[in-house]
Structure formats: structure tokens, C-alpha cells
Amino acid sequence: MQTLVAIGIIVATVLVMEFVAWSSHKYVMHGFGWGWHRDHHEPHDGFFEKNDLYAVVGAAISISFFMLGSPLVLGAEAWWPATFIGLGVMAYGAIYTLVHDGLVHQRWFRWVPKRGYAKRLVQAHKLHHATIGKEGGVSFGFIFARDPAVLKRELQAQREQGIAVLREAVDA
């Protein structure tokens, strides 16, 4: 039973992290944290981006939960679920790295999906990058992607309302 509870905590944490990532991406990265995120939306030389600092923040959150759950660190005060929350945060980071950095931005491997949910993820995130600057935008999550046709209509509406400036490929 304890194993099922631990797995449940890990899965629930991964799901909650998608909401945390969506919120952080929309309100922090495209808000006051744009200084770190900007180079992710603009052409640049080099492998690393300032945006990669957000991964360090995620790792610090995971490590903090591991510490809260560790009897070696906190002794009898350790909170055992924290270890599994830390594992969930770490699992989300691995998923993010594979899906966002690897699949969508081709940083780790070269594979362009032709169909299925992987194609939908890539299309949705490409539409996220269709805006110039931090204003407006769609698809701020990383593992759940809405219908790209709907996202494209939302971008067009944002352009018409003067909320977002779109790149030429989407503008046409």
C-alpha cells in the first residue's frame, strides 16, 4: 500500500507541476522574469541560454523537497511524502527536458513527429513561439497541448486586438 501511495504522490506532483510550469511560464517568464526567458524566444548563438537558469530553479525545488523528506537532514522531523514530491518534481524536469528541449527545440536529438500527440505538442509550442516579444501568446504548458487550430485562431484574435505581434509565418 505504501508503494501505491508513493507512486500516487509522484504522479500527482507531475500533474501539479504542469500547472506550476504553465503559471510560471505565463506570469513569471513572460512577466518580470523575461530577462532570463527572452533569449529562448530570439535567435542566438551557443548551446546554453539564460532561460536554462529556470531549470536550475526547478532542480533547487526538487532538492529542497528531498531535504525535507530526508531523515539524514532533518532527523525525526523529516516529512516522508516530501521525498516523493521531490521525485515528482524531478520526473517533471526530465519530461520537460525530453519534450521541450529535446523534441520541440531539437537540442538533444533530431526527430520530427509526423502524427499523434508528439506532433501536437510540437505544433502547440511552435505557436507559442509565433509571437514577437513577451506580450500575448498561447500554449504556456509543456506536456498538455491544446488543438493547434484553436491556438492559431487565438493568436489571430490577439493580433487583431493589438495584444500580440506575430511573426510573418503566422501573420499570413
CA angle 65, 24, 100 (to 5 degrees): 90
Strands (E), the chain: 131-132, 165-166
pLDDT one-digit tens code per residue, 47-76: 899 999 999 999 999 999 999 999 999 999
113-159: pLDDT as tens digits? 999 999 999 999 999 999 999 999 999 998 899 999 999 999 999 99
CA distance 154 to 159: 9
Write out pLDDT tens, residues 12-56. Answer: 999 999 999 999 999 999 999 999 999 999 988 888 999 999 999
DSSP reduced 3-state for 1:
coil
- The answer, as to whether pTM is greater than 0.85, is yes
Q: Which residue has the cell 509550442?
A: 125
Residue matched to cell numbers 526567458: 37
Confidence at residue 109, expressed as pLDDT on a 0 to 100 scale: 83
Residue 35's nearest CA partner among 11, 51, 55 is 51
